[in-house]
Amino acid sequence: MGQADWVVVPLDANASDEPLYFDDHAWRTIEAATARIIPTDRQPGAREARAVRFIDRMLAGTQFVYASADGSGFLRMDGLEEKAWLERVETRRALYDDGVVRLDELARSRFGQPFVSLREEEQDAVLEELGGPKPARYRLDGAEAGGTGGAPAGNQPMDEDLLDFFSLLVLNTRQGFYADPVYGGNAGGIGWRVIGFDGPETLRATTDGTYTTIDYLIVDAQWPYENDPRVTRAGWR
């Protein structure tokens, strides 16, 4: 049976701002960490986008994995599909549980307080100790801000099951900032507006024909290597 035949459960990941998996301390700790990964400056950051809610719903179980195409709820999994997803969720839960403990251990060791109580620069120092130096800032042309040259930002890792806590936290923060709001993050489309993307008002609008991305397309665009003898249908020679 394909997903089109799955039962839709009328759940709303945004129905409340209360944790479903985290306790209060873990919620505030992860919220503070996401707020340093995508900080609030002249634009809203991960805190305003409710990235922590996105992460909490991801860890809550299997009920918020697949949004229904019309946005009316989420698909209900069962059997082997649900079992496989529960194993993935349990792995991620363990990473986050241990990660909160580790953040507090490092924070208390260096600054004598839990992570959530530290100043922003102190939280940055803890995150750097956990995950490595902060990346350089980039302009849209790929050069480092305030300097010359600079490599473009690296690709986002896609296999979440192979990531450590810090890498998973960074990835999930990005997802919570930019994913469709139906999953609990990107509140009010904040993340989309930051990058100038209007986005659909609802998930249903992406399937019923009322939303289109035609304005973002170059109608007469052609594949730039169409007549390049070095390129075949299979790729570069």
Q: What is the pLDDT of residues 170-182, one digit of tens each?
A: 999 999 999 999 9
The confidence band for 150, taking pLDDT boundaries of 50, 70 and 90, is very low
Q: What is the pTM of this model?
A: 0.83
Contact 152, 135 (CB under 8 A): no
DSSP state of 219: T
Residues with Cβ < 8 Å from 51, sequence gap 6 or more?
31, 34, 38, 172, 173, 175, 176, 177, 185
The confidence band for 141, taking pLDDT boundaries of 50, 70 and 90, is low
Q: How far is CA 21 from CA 27, 90, 137, 224, 231, in A?
A: 9, 11, 33, 48, 50
User: Which position has the higher pLDDT, 82 or 139?
Assistant: 82
Separation CA 35–CA 39 (nearest Å): 5
Six-digit token pair at 79? Answer: 């059997």
> Is the pLDDT at 28 greater than 90, yes or no?
yes
- The mean predicted confidence, pLDDT, of the chain is 86
Residue with tokens 């800032």: 137
Separation CA 21–CA 182 (nearest Å): 18
In the chain, DSSP assigns E strands to 8-9, 74-75, 231-232, 235-236
| Residue 67 phi, psi (nearest 5) | -75, 140
Separation CA 131–CA 199 (nearest Å): 32
